Each structure stands twice: as structure tokens, then as C-alpha cells.
């Protein structure tokens, strides 16, 4: 049973990837300009210029309209558009700091934008929303009903297992059932074995268990908790291009290719459907979209006195000329009393949208994943169900988070909601980081009130801005860049006396500029898969099952048992928690602090 490394071709070069042959924080200097935005990577960290509340309302209006049935036709119907105008302009303005919910200029801009999006969705099936500087892409037509049925059929074997074999996600109160989860059997620094030469074959992957060399231990200051980098890494599958579309060329972690070959074919089609949406939401630092509202001065010029409101000029500043006409000494405007009066009566002007321009990306800068990365992609897969019952009817929502640690190199996520039953509406909310230093410089020193109110921020606020949420309804495919912090919003049973569920496929795209350790070079680490392989070989194929199981139980440390895998998952989850806390703390320290430049 002693594993042997696969034969080495003399022409092969020894594998060098971050965490094996290269430092875990390796940066490919020749490809840095091509790398995509990443929330945790300082060199490629996206920071917004800051969105005005009006633009956020405009984005959310567009987002809501594009959730309506047949919106792409309705937006050209003037009667319907007039109704939308009335609804938008009559929306309550409570809590808007004196602004209206929607001005005429805002509405006209949104309708022009919607009409452009309508023409585009008719050819692509995709609409971009929350797209001020970056974008979230959504599609209700990317996945055919037959493909959904195939996914449900393929997943059924993962669902129909004995209760004691169901993997309820830790701390979920037996509400989140993990079917395929990358936190089980991930890369563990110092334990996981990697092939220094050659590849792990897809169909025969289990026979390679134990082959390769152990990864080096994760080097971390003993006084520090792992933060942005971690000692664990999710394992992506390699995706290669073929004439028939993307093909999964290495095993999916925790999904045996021999047992689930049909599901592999289904998931390949989901990758193909996700790629156009990923291309919509992947951006590089050399390209950001232009915001809708950019015209402002950021100073006292942003305030006016309401029409008909006049300052009662004191008599000492008024004299008469020889004709008896009043001569007013303008020095009254330098008095404390006048300044106080202006502060009491001045009204903030709210900037209107710029002249409309189509939100079309430069085709030379928009990524083409197949053309730019002919060697293929790396994708991490996850399948999970959320189950609610009359005894547990509520899902409280998720935590705000970024996907993965920095060594996972995830740059985009795709989510598909393929089966929703008896569940209330749910949304996925997004927050982005604002460049507080840049915003501080937009206003003259000490004159930050207009910027503060336009953006809905205070001098000591964290530079994190909620930009909106996307409806996550059944049949919808959503993709977004891993620069937005996101959170699943709460939902509940619609009929409280019946059970309900929500089933999700998640796919995480690794930055193809920085390939990481994948299942193409990391043999499976599961003891149960290994035991099945050993059982095929005499004399183990001939001994009674009970004795064989005892022998397997005596094998310790590696391959990884289910109990050990759950311990590793807890450590990985703790590291991910530290990662997100470090990210949040970094931005908490960088408040707007408008008082000084």
C-alpha cells in the first residue's frame, strides 16, 4: 500500500505554484497588469470614489424594474413608463435629508439606461445592475429548464443519504445542508500531498491517493492569528477549453467522478453559462465605469437660500445716497450674526445626473476568458441546501463576507438558485469600500457638509457603503466580483405549517493570472475514497468486510478521515473568520475624518 509517485517525464519541469515551489504570497510580476480586482490584495484592491445617495437610488430603481416580467418590452411603453414615473416621484422622502426620492432628471436618465439594457438583454440574456464603477450580472434565461432538471437529478444521489451521513453546516442549527463543500478536505499546509510532476487523471484520481510530496508548513509569526493568508486553501478543479465548450479535466473536490459522472457533465454546462456573466463583472484597475453623477464642487457653493427668504440687514449697514436710495454695506455678510442666519436657512442643492451616456464597456478592456487564458480556468464548486421547517421557520441571514482567503485567489462568484419551495423573497446585499483619502480631498478644507450629506456619511463613519441588493429568485444566475462584501438577507417560510427549501449551486472563479494548487495536481485526500481503491486489490478484496474496516480504521493521519476533515473544516472556518475580521478592521481604522487634510 506504499504510494509511488507517477513516472516523471524528463521533459517535465517541476511544479511551481504558490504554496508548493513558490511562496504562498507569490505575485507574477509579468502578469500583474492583467490581474483582476480582489478585495484582499492591496495591489489589486478596488476602492470606490464614493457613490451619492441619489445614484444608489437610481441603481436600485433600475435593478427593481429589471425584476419585472417582460420589463424589456414595458420600458418602451410610454403609458407604463408614465406610471413608473408617478410611482418614483411620489415615493416617500422621509429620511432623505430634504431631498426628493426621484427628480425628473434622475428618472429620465434611468429610462434611457433601461432602454439600452433592454436592447442588450435581448441578445445576451444578461443585465448588469448595481453597476456604478463595477457590476453585478444577473440572468433569468442563462440556464434552460432541461439543464435544471438534469442538475436536480444529479444532486438527488447526494441528498438521498441516511440521516447520520448528512453534513449539516456547523453553527447552522441543521438548516444548511452541505452536499459538496470545499471546506472539507482542502489543502492543508504540511499535510496535503502534491504531484511535483504530471497530473492527477480525472477518472482514475482515487488511485493516486497518497502520491506526491507534502506541502511545506505555512510560515506565520507565532504571535499572529492567520489573517489575509491562511494555512488552508480551497481546491479548485481545472477547466479546459474544447470545441464543445468548457470541460472539467480534474476531479471536483468531494464529488467522486466515477459515482457522479452525469453531474460532472451538468456542471460543465453551468460553467459555460457562468463565463459570460463573469466577463461582465471582472474588472482590472485600468478600467472602471463612469459614475452617473459626477458634477459637484464639494464646498459652500453647494448651498443656496430658498426663494423669497431674505436676511434682515441691520440698520448700521444701511445708509442713504443723495437721492434717498439705500446704500448697503456688504460687510454685514462678514458678521457672525449673518453667518449664523445663513447656516439656519441655507438649503443643500442635490446634484443631478450627468448627461446620459450608454454604459457599454470598451471591448478591448472587457475580458475574454477563453482568448486570454487558453490554458484554461480553475473553478471551485459548492452545492448546498437550506431547509426550513415549521419548528425552525426562519433563516436569519448570513454574515457580511469576502469569499476565501487571499491564497484562494477567488476573483468572482456565480450563484444559481435552482430549487426554491415555500420560501419568502430573499436578496443578496452588497457593500463596497470607499477610498476615504480620495473623498477627503474632494472638498475644500472644513467644507465637507455637502459631500457628507450627498453620500450619507459622517466624519467618523467606516468607509463601507451599501450599494443595494439583488433578488435571488428561482432560476436566476448571478455573478459578482470578489471585491464586494456580500450578505444573504433573512427569509422565512411562506406557509408556516409546511417545510420549505432553497437549493444553491455556487461556483468560484480563481484569478486565471495566478493559478493555484488544484485537483489537477493534488490527489484526493479522503480515506473513504482510498479504502474503496484498496478494497479492489488482493488480499484486501478477499477478506471479510468487518476485518477490512478495522484495518482501514488503524490507518491514521493520512488519508484524511471524516472526523479529521471536520476538525480541519473548523480550523479553516476560523481562519476565514480572521480574514474577514482583518479586512473589516483595516477599513474601520480608515474613517473619513473630514476635519483635516
- Taking the chain (597 residues) in runs of 10, the rounded mean pLDDT of each run is 48 88 88 88 82 94 98 98 96 87 96 97 97 96 98 96 92 93 96 96 93 86 59 97 97 96 98 98 86 69 71 70 68 73 75 90 91 98 98 94 94 98 97 81 63 79 91 98 96 97 98 97 90 65 64 73 93 91 77 51
Whole-number pLDDT of residue 549? 62
| Domain annotation covers residue 397 | yes
Residues 333 and 246 in one domain: no
Residues 322 and 430 in one domain: no
* Domain count along the chain: 2
Whole-number pLDDT of residue 312? 78
| Domain annotation covers residue 181 | yes
| Domain annotation covers residue 229 | yes
User: Is-contact 386 502, C-beta < 8 A?
Assistant: yes
Residues 461 and 317 in one domain: no
Residues 496 and 370 in one domain: yes
Residues 313 and 419 in one domain: no
User: Is-contact 111 81, C-beta < 8 A?
Assistant: yes
What is the spatial distance between Cα 501 and Cα 216, in angstroms, rounded to a whole number? 42
Whole-number pLDDT of residue 497? 97
Residues 511 and 399 in one domain: yes
| Domain annotation covers residue 180 | yes
Residues 167 and 277 in one domain: yes
What is the spatial distance between Cα 334 and Cα 327, in angstroms, rounded to a whole number? 17
Residues 193 and 313 in one domain: no
* CA distance readout (Å), 35 to 237, 381, 514, 516, 544: 20, 22, 8, 14, 55
> Which has the closest alpha carbon to 270: 405, 381, 189?
381
Write down the residue that cell numbers 482567503 correspond to.
405
What is the spatial distance between Cα 340 and Cα 337, in angstroms, rounded to a whole number? 5
Residues 425 and 317 in one domain: no
| Domain annotation covers residue 535 | no
> Which has the closest alpha carbon to 483: 401, 398, 428, 407?
401
Which domain range does residue 255 map to? 135-282+366-525+560-588
What are the residues facing 491 on neighbouring strands? 395
Write down the residue that cell numbers 470545441 correspond to.
243
User: Is-contact 534 562, C-beta < 8 A?
Assistant: no
User: Is-contact 341 311, C-beta < 8 A?
Assistant: yes
Rg (C-alpha) for the chain, rounded Å, is 29
Residues 142 and 255 in one domain: yes
| Domain annotation covers residue 545 | no
Residues 236 and 325 in one domain: no
User: Is-contact 536 53, C-beta < 8 A?
Assistant: no
| Cα-Cα-Cα-Cα dihedral sign, residues 155, 157, 162, 164 | negative
What is the model's pTM? 0.90
> Which has the closest alpha carbon to 480: 63, 91, 190?
63
Cell numbers placing 85: 414615473
Residues 389 and 253 in one domain: yes
| Domain annotation covers residue 290 | no
Amino acid at each position: 500500500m506504499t504510494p509511488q509517485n507517477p513516472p516523471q517525464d524528463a521533459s517535465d519541469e517541476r511544479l511551481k505554484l504558490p504554496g508548493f515551489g513558490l511562496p504562498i504570497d507569490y505575485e507574477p510580476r509579468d502578469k500583474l497588469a492583467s490581474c483582476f480586482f480582489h478585495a484582499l490584495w492591496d495591489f489589486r484592491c478596488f476602492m470606490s470614489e464614493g457613490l451619492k445617495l441619489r445614484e444608489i437610488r437610481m441603481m436600485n430603481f433600475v435593478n427593481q424594474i429589471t425584476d419585472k416580467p417582460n420589463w424589456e418590452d414595458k420600458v418602451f411603453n410610454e403609458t407604463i413608463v408614465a406610471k413608473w414615473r408617478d410611482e418614483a416621484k411620489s415615493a416617500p422622502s422621509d429620511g432623505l435629508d430634504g431631498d426628493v426620492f426621484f427628480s425628473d432628471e434622475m428618472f429620465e436618465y434611468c429610462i434611457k439606461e433601461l432602454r439600452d439594457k433592454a436592447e442588450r438583454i435581448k441578445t445576451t440574456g444578461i443585465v448588469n445592475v448595481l453597476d456604478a464603477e463595477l457590476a453585478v450580472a444577473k440572468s433569468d434565461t442563462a440556464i434552460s429548464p432541461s439543464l435544471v432538471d438534469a442538475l436536480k437529478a444529479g444532486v438527488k444521489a447526494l441528498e438521498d443519504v441516511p440521516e447520520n451521513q448528512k453534513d449539516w453546516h456547523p453553527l447552522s442549527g441543521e438548516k444548511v445542508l452541505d452536499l459538496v463543500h470545499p471546506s472539507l478536505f482542502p489543502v492543508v499546509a504540511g499535510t496535503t500531498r502534491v504531484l511535483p510532476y504530471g497530473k492527477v487523471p480525472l477518472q482514475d484520481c482515487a488511485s493516486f491517493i497518497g502520491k506526491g510530496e507534502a506541502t511545506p508548513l505555512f510560515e506565520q509569526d507565532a504571535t499572529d492569528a492567520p489573517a489575509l493568508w491562511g494555512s488552508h486553501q480551497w481546491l479548485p478543479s481545472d477547466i479546459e477549453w474544447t470545441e464543445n465548450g468548457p470541460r472539467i479535466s480534474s476531479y471536483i473536490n468531494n464529488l467522486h467522478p466515477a459515482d457522479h459522472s452525469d453531474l460532472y457533465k451538468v456542471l460543465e454546462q453551468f460553467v459555460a453559462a457562468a463565463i459570460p456573466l463573469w466577463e461582465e463583472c471582472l474588472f482590472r484597475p485600468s478600467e472602471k465605469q463612469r459614475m452617473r453623477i459626477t458634477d459637484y464642487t464639494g464646498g459652500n457653493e453647494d448651498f443656496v437660500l430658498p426663494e423669497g427668504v431674505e436676511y434682515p440687514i441691520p440698520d448700521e449697514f444701511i445708509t442713504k445716497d443723495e437721492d434717498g436710495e439705500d446704500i448697503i454695506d456688504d460687510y454685514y455678510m462678514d458678521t457672525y450674526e449673518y453667518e449664523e442666519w445663513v447656516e439656519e436657512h441655507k438649503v443643500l442643492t442635490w446634484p443631478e445626473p450627468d448627461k446620459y451616456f450608454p454604459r457599454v464597456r470598451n471591448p478591448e478592456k472587457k475580458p475574454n476568458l477563453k482568448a486570454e487564458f487558453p490554458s484554461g480556468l480553475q473553478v471551485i464548486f459548492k452545492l448546498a441546501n437550506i431547509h426550513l421547517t415549521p419548528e425552525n421557520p426562519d433563516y436569519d441571514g448570513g454574515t457580511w463576507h469576502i469569499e476565501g482567503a487571499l491564497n484562494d485567489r477567488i476573483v468572482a462568484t456565480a450563484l444559481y438558485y435552482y430549487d426554491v419551495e415555500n420560501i419568502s423573497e430573499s436578496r443578496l446585499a452588497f457593500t463596497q469600500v470607499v477610498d476615504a483619502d480620495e473623498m477627503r480631498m474632494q472638498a475644500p478644507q472644513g467644507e465637507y457638509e455637502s459631500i457628507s450629506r450627498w453620500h450619507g456619511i459622517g466624519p467618523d463613519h467606516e468607509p463601507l457603503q451599501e450599494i443595494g441588493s439583488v433578488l435571488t429568485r428561482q432560476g436566476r444566475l448571478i455573478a459578482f466580483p470578489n471585491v464586494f462584501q456580500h450578505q444573504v438577507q433573512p427569509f422565512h417560510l411562506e406557509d408556516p405549517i409546511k417545510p420549505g427549501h432553497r437549493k444553491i449551486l455556487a461556483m468560484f472563479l480563481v484569478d486565471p493570472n495566478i493559478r493555484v494548487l488544484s485537483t489537477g495536481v493534488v490527489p484526493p485526500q479522503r480515506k473513504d475514497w482510498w479504502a474503496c481503491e484498496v478494497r479492489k486489490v488482493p488480499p484486501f478484496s478477499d477478506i471479510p468486510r468487518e476485518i477490512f474496516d478495522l484495518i482501514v480504521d488503524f490507518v491514521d493521519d493520512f488519508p484524511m478521515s471524516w472526523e479529521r476533515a471536520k476538525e480541519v473544516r473548523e480550523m479553516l472556518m476560523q481562519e476565514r473568520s480572521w480574514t474577514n475580521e482583518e479586512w473589516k478592521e483595516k477599513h474601520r481604522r480608515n474613517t473619513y475624518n473630514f476635519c483635516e487634510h
